[in-house]
Each structure stands twice: as C-alpha cells, then as structure tokens.
Amino acid sequence: MYSANAPFKVFSGTASRYMAEEICRDLGVELGQMKVDHFADGEFEVVFEETIRGCEVYLVQSTFPSSDNLMELLLMIDAAKRASAAQVVAVMPYFGWARQDRKDKPRVSIAAKLVADLLTAAGADRIITMDLHAGQIQGFFNIPLDHLYASCVFIPYIQQLNLENLCLASPDAGGAKRVNSYAKYLGVPYVLCHKQRAKANVVAQMTIIGDVQDKNVIIIDDMVDTAGTITKAANLMIEKGARSVRAIATHAIMSDPASQRVTDSALSEIIFTNSIPYRGDCEKVTILSVAHLFADTIRRVHANESISSQYLIK
C-alpha cells in the first residue's frame, strides 16, 4: 500500500532528461539511475539501476514525436510497477497525440483516449501534465490527473514587457476560453481569428474578429507545429494596423518549416516553455523554463497539498 511517508525518486526518459535534471536541482535531489538498452532491430528495454521498492516514483517524459518516447514511458511505468514501486507518477510536460481527441469524421481513431488507456494499463497511478490541447482529455483517465497551466510563467513575462495598448488574440475559435482567461486577469481586450483549413496544417483563409489598430498584440495558443496559422495571423494583424505582434505558446513542436516561417513573419517574438526541447535556429524564439512549476507540483503531490493554489488562471 502507498504511504505519504514513502520516499520519492525522480527518473527521466531519454527525451526529457534536460527537464528532469532541472526539476531535480529545484527539488534538491539526485536524478535516479536508469538506462535504456537498444537492440539491433530497434527494440529497447528499460532498466532501473537502483532499488525503488516501496518508493513513490516520478517518471519525467514528454511524448512528442517520435512514438519511441511514448513507448519508452510505457516501459518505464511497467518496469517500475514490476520493481514494486509504491506509486508511479508519469510527469508529462507535453502530452502527445492530444489533437486527436474526438471523432470528427467517419472511421477515425481517437488517439488521445488510446494513449490514456495505454498509460493506465501500463500501471500509472497518476499523471502530471500541462496545457492539454483539449481540457476534456482529463476525462479519458480513470486515475488522478493534475493539469498544470503555463500561464504561471507566461503572465509574469507579459507583465514585465510593459506594453502599451496591449491586446490579446486567439488564433482560432477553440482558444477563445484560454485568451478570455488571460484578458480578464490582465484587464485588456482580446480579438479572435476565424480560420478555414484546406487540410491538416494548411490554413486556406483567415479573418480577424475585433480591432487591432494601434495595438501591441500577443497571440496566445497551446502549441505551434508548422507555424502556418500563427504567422498568417501575425502578418494579417500588421496589415490591419497593429503596432507589433508577439506570440505565446506552451509547446514548441516547431516542425519544418516553422522556424523559417517565424523568421520571415511579422512576429517580433515568439515565446515557448521548455516542455519540448527547441532545436531550431530562430532569433525570435524565447524559451521560459517550467521546471520549477513541475518541481513544486511534485512537492505538493508528495505532501498531499493543494495543486490548484499555485494557479494564476485556469
């Protein structure tokens, strides 16, 4: 049985070691020893190199492409359960496959639900993640899920910019709730972008609903993939008379040719968290660390304290 007095240990998957090391520095603990052995055919196995019997185990791994990162996390969870860990918590700064959260056309998979089932079947007792693409994904789990918000780091950054005539924007109707929460907290107006897609990752047409004339605009989104939407919105806003346009997004997927699109666009800056490591080359990109947010959440979970009390907005 799990006890709140059980010791806790933090381990990292291959893709998120940079994040796990920051988290451990904040917590003042050593990163646990674990290795991943690869076979010639592409298979791999996870081995914990220290005892975790009776421990509360936190496994840090984002599941951005490739799918090896998801498989590695599943094997980490399975290995921890088989090594008699008291509780296994999957710490996923970025929850991949989240854009497939509903059946929006016939004969299509709902990958977010499948991933939730896989994590549960592997033996995860709890999930800690941040800025899910769709909040209802929390309902796909039958285990506790702590949903964190990058607004804890973004709002102080916006405030220190000290921009006059600030206006927030959502790049699509789906982000209206998010941008409304930011605008209400900061006491500024916001506008919406209405887009029509020709196909996935391709925007055919975009319209701005609201006035951006003489405004310093900040577009707020949960992720940027190919940067087609966000750069098109920025260029359109400058055409409509905006003084400047910045963008804030939690997850820097930044698939090619995203970095070049941002460089060539009217965006003066684009700000991400380090939930996904940004490996591109773009001078307009600023990265803010969320390691402290996850470290503080781990402290609170371990001590059975409130998680929501650290939120600025939801």
Residue type, 37: D
- Beta strands 44-48 and 126-130, pairing class: unpaired
- β-pairing, 285-288 with 269-273? parallel
229, 252 Cβ separation under 8 angstroms: no
- Residue 283 token pair: 């001078």
Cβ(250)–Cβ(276) below 8 Å: no
How would you classify the pairing of strands 8-12 and 87-92? unpaired
Strands 8-12 and 216-224: unpaired
Known catalytic residue at 195: yes
- Look at residues 188, 185, 184, 152 and name the one whose alpha carbon lies nearest to residue 168: 188
From the candidates 195, 199, 232, 284, which is the catalytic residue? 195
Nearest Cα residue to 59 out of 78, 84, 39, 82: 78
Distances (CA, A) of 220 to 16, 178, 217: 24, 8, 10
Give phi and psi for 176, each to the nearest 5: -60, -40
State the Cα torsion 170-138-64-30 to the nearest 10°: 120
10 CB burial (10 A radius; 0-12, 13-18, 19+)? buried
Q: Contact, 96 vs 72, CB < 8 A? A: no
CA torsion through residues 103, 67, 202, 263, sign: positive
Report the catalytic residues. Answer: 195
